[in-house]
């Protein structure tokens, strides 16, 4: 087992974890904003126990990766993911992305992963593509004022903002019947505060304003699309329901009542579904 760093062409130091037998099929995890690879702890241990090689990295400016001043956009996110995959020589891998990480997976698979045989399958979990922000061509999107509000709140008091997100909409802990876990809230906050305020600030534009319609259309590998219908962060009608129309070989699973953070709070359901897709 190992956890190391690689250096990208533009000088970012990217932290990664690489656990399990090197000859086993790799499962590669891509985390959401503003978190780190630690958000995949449950899934990494689960797949490791099932005989897979598991890999995850901290996005530039997030977690333990360096707080570089530049490159906080989907192109660099995908290029960094490719750099990790090439350095570890990952082939026939299943790439699983959550939220912003789903956008990262879509761009990586579309631009880097398929021709070289590096990608066998893809999974988009509560993922941001094709486009979050409301535009003339995306009238059902989220108004830009919402994302401007995120930026203002982050700039004013990042610690307070992150606490509000984790204790409220992210896991659905603001719902009347929610079973609230303070430890889950604390762990989300811990991961967020490890990263760079600048990377998080500029990352809001990356996840909300990047049109990934063409990325989704370019994905030919089998793709599992998973989302909860009570996702308060990425509305599923503008995400999963559009993704399944754009990918060429997709399977859609909508989970009734599940939140944006279902990977953590509903891992007992999500993990076996992920494993079944990987094994299929």
The helix-helix angle for 100-108 and 74-87 (nearest 10°) equals 60
Residue 230 structure tokens: 């009570």
Domains of the chain in start order, with CATH, are 2-279 (3.40.50.1820)
Residue 241 structure tokens: 């329901």
* Catalytic (active-site) positions: 99, 231, 260
CA distance 262 to 257: 10
Residue 129's contacts (CB-CB under 8 Å, 6 or more residues apart) are: 102, 103, 106, 212, 213, 215, 216, 239, 242, 243
User: What pTM was computed for the model?
Assistant: 0.97
* Residue pLDDT tens, the chain, 280 long: 456 999 999 999 999 999 999 999 999 999 999 999 999 999 999 999 999 999 999 999 999 999 999 999 999 999 999 999 999 999 999 999 999 999 999 999 999 977 778 999 999 999 999 999 999 999 999 999 999 999 999 999 999 999 999 999 999 999 999 999 999 999 999 999 999 999 999 999 999 999 999 999 999 999 999 999 999 999 999 999 999 999 999 999 999 999 999 999 999 999 999 999 999 9
Kindly list the distances between the CA atom of residue 166 and the CA atoms of 125, 127, 175, 182, 187, in Å, as whole numbers in the listed order: 18, 17, 13, 9, 9
Peptide bond into 235 cis (omega under 30): no
Q: Do 126 and 224 contact (CB within 8 A), yes or no?
A: no
Q: Which of 163, 65, 58 is nearest to 100 (CA)?
A: 58
First to last CA, the chain: 27
């Amino acid at each position: 087992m190992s956890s190391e760093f690689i250096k990208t062409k533009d000088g970012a130091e990217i932290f990664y974890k690489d656990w399990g037998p090197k000859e086993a099929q790799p499962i590669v995890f891509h985390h959401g904003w503003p978190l780190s690879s630690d958000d995949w702890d449950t899934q990494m241990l689960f797949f490791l126990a099932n005989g897979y090689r598991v890999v995850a990295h901290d996005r530039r400016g997030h977690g333990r990766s360096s707080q570089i001043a530049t490159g906080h956009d989907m192109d660099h996110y995908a290029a960094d993911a490719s750099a990790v995959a090439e350095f570890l020589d990952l082939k026939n891998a299943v790439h699983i992305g959550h939220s912003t990480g789903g956008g990262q997976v879509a761009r990586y698979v579309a631009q880097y992963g398929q021709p070289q045989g590096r990608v066998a399958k893809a999974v988009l979990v509560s993922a941001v593509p094709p486009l979050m922000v409301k535009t003339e061509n995306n009238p059902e999107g989220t108004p830009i004022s919402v994302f401007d509000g995120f930026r203002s709140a982050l700039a004013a008091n990042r610690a307070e903002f992150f606490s509000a997100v984790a204790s409220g909409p992210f896991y659905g802990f603001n719902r009347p019947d929610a079973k609230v876990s303070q430890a889950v809230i604390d762990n989300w906050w811990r991961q967020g505060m490890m990263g760079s305020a600048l990377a998080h600030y500029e990352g809001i534009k990356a996840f909300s304003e990047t049109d990934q319609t063409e990325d989704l259309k370019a994905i030919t590998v089998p793709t599992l699309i998973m989302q909860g219908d009570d996702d308060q962060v990425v509305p599923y009608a503008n995400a999963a329901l559009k993704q399944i129309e754009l990918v060429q070989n997709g399977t859609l699973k909508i989970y009734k009542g599940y939140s944006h953070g279902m990977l953590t709070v509903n891992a007992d359901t999500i993990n076996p579904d992920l494993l079944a897709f990987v094994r299929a």
